[in-house]
Amino acid sequence: MAEPEKLTPEEVKSLFDLSGKVALVTGGAGAFGEAVATGLAAYGADVAVTSRNKEALEAVASEIESHGRKALAVKCDVADETGVECMVDEVLGELGGIDILVTSAGIAKRYPAEDMPLDEWQKVMDVNVTGTFTACKHVGRHMIEKGGGKIITVSSIRGLLGHPGGYSAYGTSKGAVHLLTRQLATEWAKHRINVNSIAPSIFWTPLTKEVLEDKELYKIFMQRIPWGRAAVPDDFIGAAVYLASAASDFVTGQVLYVDGGSSAG
């Protein structure tokens, strides 16, 4: 096999360009999903966002449109496979395809393990594991037909390391997302579908505000983050653009920890 030609300077510059691409972001009304959706739009992608909160989605769609890109807001519960299938069909019909999938829909329920209600455990698994899988499954079918795509699951540092803060369900669900990412990467590499994951440390959202504003809890979390602060949603944009773009074409099955050094020890 002949050695491939090197990229030209102009081709190098365009590695992160997402012009002409269509992205679908589940959990698009959440802090992570909003930051990533608008970040992808800033690099040229048209973006569909989904969540159970249609009003919040409309605000995100307006922000996407402010970048001069097409936007679509679709209400969807990722724990309902029929709803996911219909949502994917709507995105395909309205935007013509899906080149990038980001599965940022997720929930957390914190209890001591000995007190974890089984119904709360199951809710976490239904959204974080099954919801991730069904989105990948139905978008993956389209990507197989079209000959490729980029899938970015959203996991967590809690999928790698335990924590005394009551994360038995959440951590277990994110560990499952890690392995699902690697499984899909190995199955779908032959279809030129890259499947990678972004794994954040704790970051500022309305859902974590209660934890991060508790001085004792904040201290516990910061002791585990060498960078010395919680993440903010904008910290994840660069990782998402990289994994969504041609810059990562030979990267698959990887978990990218955007965690201020937490996974380093």
The catalytic site residues sit at 170
- Write the DSSP symbol of residue 203: B
Name the one residue in this structure whose structure tokens are 């970051």. 203
Q: Is 132 exposed, middle or buried (0-12, 13-18, 19+ CB in 10 A)?
A: buried
DSSP 8-state code for residue 161: S
DSSP type of residue 116: -
| CA distances to 7, 84, 252 from 10, in Å | 8, 39, 25
Residues 252 and 194: their CA atoms lie apart, in Å, by 5
Kindly list the strands in the beta sheet with 100-103, ordered across the sheet, starting from the edge strand earlier in the chain.
71-75, 46-51, 22-26, 100-103, 149-154, 193-200, 255-258
Residue 151 and residue 184 in contact, taking contact as beta carbons nearer than 8 Å: yes
Rounded to the nearest 10°, the torsion over CA 186, 189, 190, 192 is 170
- Could you give the CA distance from residue 228 to residue 187 in angstroms, rounded to a whole number? 38
